[in-house]
A and B are shown apart, each in its own frame.
Chain A
Amino acid sequence: MKIDETDLFSDYTATGYYCELMGTPSDPAAHNKPLLDRLRRMSGDELVRRSRIAERELFNLGITFTVYSDRDAIDRILPFDVVPRVISAADWEILESGSVQRVAALNLFLKDIYNDQKILKDGVIPRDLVVGNKNFREQMMGVKVPHDTYVHVCGIDVVRDDEGNFLVLEDNARCPSGVSYVVENRHMMQRTFPDLMSDIGIRSVGNYGQMLREACADVAPAGIDDPTVVLLSPGTFNSAYFEHIFLAREMGVPLVEGRDLVVEDDRVYMKTISGLRPVHTIYRRIDDDFIDPEVFRPDSMLGVPGLMRAYRAGNLGLANAIGTGVADDKAVYAYLPRIIRYYLDQEPILSNVETHICREPEGLKYTLDHMAELVVKPVGESGGYGVMIGPKATEAELAETREKLLENPSNFISQPMIKLSVCPTLIEGVLEPRHVDLRPFAVTGKKTWVLPGGLTRVAIRRGSLVVNSSQGGGSKDTWVLES
């Protein structure tokens, strides 16, 4: 019998990138030794076997997002990679304090632009970039929100470069999704890899729902002792419906749709079998545009007519507030380091990726001159759509983007291509490096709490940098070490 002395990592190399499990050759990630030792004792077949069990289970549990074709609604699972991504206690401290700082700045910024607009008067950020933004909501001018909290749930997309530095890619301050996978991935790992996890000392992710419920109670109208909180979903046809269910259950609140709610005398009620019952805070997973047909899109069937009346009258807490989209806009993002300094008088703990703002002549010139090296992004899109990756683009794609840029420069920003960190990922029975990002979730009522870890998305295709679930990305369990 031939004795196989190779292990899962024999052929694994991540040269040129920071590896989330191994670190770099000059600076190996010592905190991961226990996990790596255990992984080395496993065979590829064993990993594949358990990985199949996990995927089967995700499908049976219906932990899925829904893809619609002409005829059919098909439930797909987000591909789950069994090799966890680990964050050391020291790295977590940076991510956590950096997230708290960013959320504080975002909330101060929103309060300012919807009230006194000092930052615009002081010329720190161009006025038309803010008030001319399609996500700026006139209707929020002068509206007081409890604790001055606008962004109750923030998902901050963070990447790591080849030197191991964390960089913020974007802030998601509207209705960021993905947190359900964080918790479900952990459950899945606990069921399929108890041997990998025991005695490692991993921070729990189990209380997200309770923390969010508390934040929602914090922002209920004054004088309500035991506020009724509900989660407002667009309904079963929404691709993130699973997450809405998950959160409603974890929060212990009813999951409602627009048709379950009515507004009478500027107060919101839900329709129950015993008649109308008051609602005090809504955690909404519907975009501003659809939330109240009286104020926003009149054709919306998903929203609640009159909701804005109740909100403006102070009879309703809304998480997130209306109009937060202006703060996570890709163009405003470029100014965030300046926004942090302006309100907090602090240096940003988490840096931005260097960003060239194409509405500014220097930015546009630099972008046009260096297009083949840059990533060019439209400012209004999400989900990785419309992004051009210069080093991977064909001549035709470059020319096309150049044309679009010249046509409407304000619609674009550009960034250098980051050598995104990698993590060992199970690909056809062997471990290969694949690029990952991280979305920590910050929850804010009276104060901010950050869920330890966050969603690690992984680009399954070799060489791909796009981790979005809508574009074939998968996810990993994310461990934050206790020490």
Chain B
Amino acid sequence: MSVLLSRYAECVFWMARYVERAENVARILDVHETFTRDRTGAVNWSSVVSICSDDERFYQTHPQASAKAVVDFYLLDPENPTSIFSSVRAARDNARTLRPLISTEMWTHINVFYNTLRAMTPADVSMSGLSQTCAVIKESCQTHYGITEGTFYRDASWYFYLMGKYLERADQTSRILDIKYNILTPAEPAAIDASQWNALLRSVAGYHAFRRTHPRGLTPAAVAEFMLFDSSFPRSISMCFRQVDDLLHRLRSRFALRNGVAALERLDEVRAALDQHTIDDVLREGLHEFSDWIQRQAIDVTGDIQKDFFI
């Protein structure tokens, strides 16, 4: 039996999600600036807005997706709920609630991280210093995982922490793949711009891993397959759902819980679909439709967990 309060389970799940989200947005910004210049050296920043499904909100307040506008919107804008600042603030709010549960080191780190971002102004972030800023953010998120791994007590809350993290990651990976794939896949195979595909892989920290499994050549389909199905890549969608499924099974058996059945059934379906589809099936049926379906599954699994454990 576990005495973990439902409210804490929910907070820990979301704390993990928000840190994961902050890291992913930092990756997207960083990679975008560094690797996606086209032949004229210009960077098209509007796709970043699309990845995060923020077109409507962004263009309400900004006439166009200039580099500076997009970066400010995603880095420090406190009014934008998908900005890194907002994610870290939300993670920190959850951590504040969770302070009786988490280690002092986890709390202190996230509190300092938040205060660092809070002290930053758009003027502090020049476009030339963007990569540096993103590196600091990514590192802070990774430090959070490291401290958590090393200090967080492994009771039921640990499972919720990891489930939150992997569900968020599945969602983020599918978004990146969805948007970029359509933009980067030209009608003429000869026009494939390898640097853009490298960038896509780098934005999920998968370039080197991909090279290990595909030493020669790079096709859009191989990249998509890698991000969707690779069984060892820590950010692949298959891997993320497998983790969530395992975690939920272990949580239930270790703490003799009877709830969580709906989420398990849904996870079964998702995993079966991921196992049964080849990349050719996906591309034939439409990558966008498939990504969309995956994102909906992540939302529904979250809803199932919410209903069974958080209320």
Known: A236-B97, A249-B100, A254-B100. A273 touches B107 (CB 8 A): no
Q: Are B2 and A61 in contact (CB under 8 A)?
A: no
Per a CB cutoff under 8 Å, which of A60, A61, A236, A260 touches B5?
A260
Give the docked Cα–Cα distance between A236 and B107 (Å). 14
Known: A60-B112, A62-B96. A273 touches B6 (CB 8 A): yes
- Interface check A10, CB cutoff 8 A: no
Q: What residues of chain B lie closer than 8 Å to A61, measured between beta carbons?
A: 104, 107-108, 111
Q: Are A273 and B4 in contact (CB under 8 A)?
A: yes
- Shortest CB–CB separation between residue B254 and chain A, in angstroms? 11
Give the docked Cα–Cα distance between A155 and B311 (Å). 37
Chain B residue nearest in CB terms to A256? B5
- Interface check A69, CB cutoff 8 A: no
Chain B residue nearest in CB terms to A245? B99
Q: Are B97 and A254 in contact (CB under 8 A)?
A: no
Give the docked Cα–Cα distance between A271 and B309 (Å). 9
Q: Are A62 and B107 in contact (CB under 8 A)?
A: yes
- Interface check B296, CB cutoff 8 A: no
Q: Are B6 and A271 in contact (CB under 8 A)?
A: yes
- Shortest CB–CB separation between residue A233 and chain B, in angstroms? 9
Q: Are A260 and B7 in contact (CB under 8 A)?
A: yes
Q: Are A271 and B7 in contact (CB under 8 A)?
A: yes
- Interface check B9, CB cutoff 8 A: yes
- Shortest CB–CB separation between residue B98 and chain A, in angstroms? 9
Per a CB cutoff under 8 Å, which of A245, A260, A270 touches B100?
A245
Q: Are A271 and B107 in contact (CB under 8 A)?
A: no
Interface centre among B3, B107, B108, B115 (most CB of A within 10 A): B3
Give the docked Cα–Cα distance between A273 and B115 (Å). 32
Q: Are A272 and B6 in contact (CB under 8 A)?
A: yes
Q: What residues of chain B lie closer than 8 Å to A241, measured between beta carbons?
A: 96
Q: What residues of chain B lie closer than 8 Å to A255, measured between beta carbons?
A: 100
- Interface check B93, CB cutoff 8 A: yes
Give the docked Cα–Cα distance between A241 and B95 (Å). 13
- Interface check B255, CB cutoff 8 A: yes
Q: Are A259 and B7 in contact (CB under 8 A)?
A: yes
Q: Are B3 and A277 in contact (CB under 8 A)?
A: yes
In chain A between 39 and 88, which residues have their CB closer than 8 angstroms to a CB of chain B? 59-62
User: How many residues belonging to B are interface residues under a CB distance threshold of 8 Å?
Assistant: 27
Q: Are A274 and B257 in contact (CB under 8 A)?
A: yes
- Interface check A257, CB cutoff 8 A: yes
Q: What residues of chain A lie closer than 8 Å to B112, measured between beta carbons?
A: 60
Q: What residues of chain A lie closer than 8 Å to B309, measured between beta carbons?
A: 273
Per a CB cutoff under 8 Å, which of B99, B259, B311 touches A62?
B99
Known: A60-B112, A62-B111. A273 touches B100 (CB 8 A): no
In chain B between 173 and 218, which residues have their CB closer than 8 angstroms to a CB of chain A? none
In chain A between 17 and 38, which residues have their CB closer than 8 angstroms to a CB of chain B? none
Q: Are A274 and B2 in contact (CB under 8 A)?
A: yes
Q: Are B6 and A236 in contact (CB under 8 A)?
A: no
Q: Are B257 and A273 in contact (CB under 8 A)?
A: yes
- Interface check B262, CB cutoff 8 A: no
- Interface check A248, CB cutoff 8 A: yes
Give the docked Cα–Cα distance between A463 and B256 (Å). 63
- Shortest CB–CB separation between residue A188 and chain B, in angstroms? 13
Give the docked Cα–Cα distance between A257 and B99 (Å). 14
Q: What residues of chain A lie closer than 8 Å to B147, measured between beta carbons?
A: none
Q: What residues of chain B lie closer than 8 Å to A62, measured between beta carbons?
A: 96, 99, 107-108, 111
Q: What residues of chain B lie closer than 8 Å to A248, measured between beta carbons?
A: 100
Per-position 1/0 for B225-262, Cβ under 8 A of A: 00000000000000000000000000000011101000
Q: Are A60 and B100 in contact (CB under 8 A)?
A: no
- Shortest CB–CB separation between residue B163 and chain A, in angstroms? 12
- Interface check B42, CB cutoff 8 A: no
- Shortest CB–CB separation between residue B76 and chain A, in angstroms? 15
Q: What residues of chain B lie closer than 8 Å to A257, measured between beta carbons?
A: 7
Give me 7 A-to-B residue pairs in the complex whose CB atoms sit less than 8 angstroms apart, sorted by A's number. Answer: A59-B115, A60-B111, A249-B100, A260-B5, A273-B5, A274-B3, A277-B3
User: Given A61-B108, A236-B96, A273-B257, 20 other A-B contacts at CB below 8 A?
Assistant: A59-B115, A60-B108, A60-B111, A245-B99, A254-B100, A260-B5, A260-B6, A260-B7, A270-B5, A271-B5, A271-B311, A272-B2, A273-B5, A273-B255, A273-B309, A274-B1, A274-B3, A274-B4, A274-B259, A277-B3
When A and B form their complex, which 9 residue pairs have the shortest distance between CB atoms, in order from nearest?
A248-B100, A245-B99, A255-B100, A273-B309, A271-B6, A62-B111, A273-B4, A273-B9, A245-B100
